[in-house]
A = this chain, B = another copy of it.
């Protein structure tokens, strides 16, 4: 039985493997080796082998892994096969973009509805999904058993919204707001932090220009 506990770094690489395997569909054969994945993604092959060992039951020496089987195992391990319902708070531009994104089911995420405090947005639809008033948040979450909340409100409202989500039974928060969120033990905050990305980009350019 594969190891259930992988390092956070490994967990971040697994989606890239899956993505590669999904996209290499047509021209690929029945089998795929860790070496091939490593080469395609520009990663050390031992890393890939070690990561796959904790996800897949068995790779066969000389042959590699059965491609479709490995895809299944990765999907299962990453939870993409077991779709989770989510709700989104903040139906502004970014919120609407996420509500409209059709790729989430592929990653096991289904956004049920959006919420917003702006009366002008309430009861409109975005990509077939209703925008509801904040008052209906706790009721819906509890009734349907939603555990994932997506925050796309301005930074200054993020903590307040986060508290409401947790009161409504949310266990994992996907935070697009540029704010640090304080949460009780056992609640996960996953920050999609653009400021961090920009810092890394900026740093690269700085180094690039200072050395050349």
Q: Enumerate chain A interface residues (CB-CB to B < 8 A).
A: 4, 8, 11-12, 14-16, 18-20, 23, 40-42, 78-80, 82, 84, 93-94, 96-97, 100-101, 103-104, 107-109, 147-148, 155-156, 171-172, 174, 178-180, 182, 186, 188, 190, 192-206, 208, 210
Q: Given A97-B97, A101-B93, A178-B103, is A19 in contact with B203 using a C-beta cutoff of 8 Å? A: no
Instruction: Say yes or no: A199 contacts B41, CB within 8 Å.
Output: no
**Bound complex: CA A4 to CA B209 (Å):** 13
Closest 6 CB pairs of A and B: A79-B202, A93-B97, A15-B195, A188-B204, A97-B97, A94-B97
Query: How many copies, total?
Result: 2
Instruction: Say yes or no: A208 contacts B107, CB within 8 Å.
Output: no
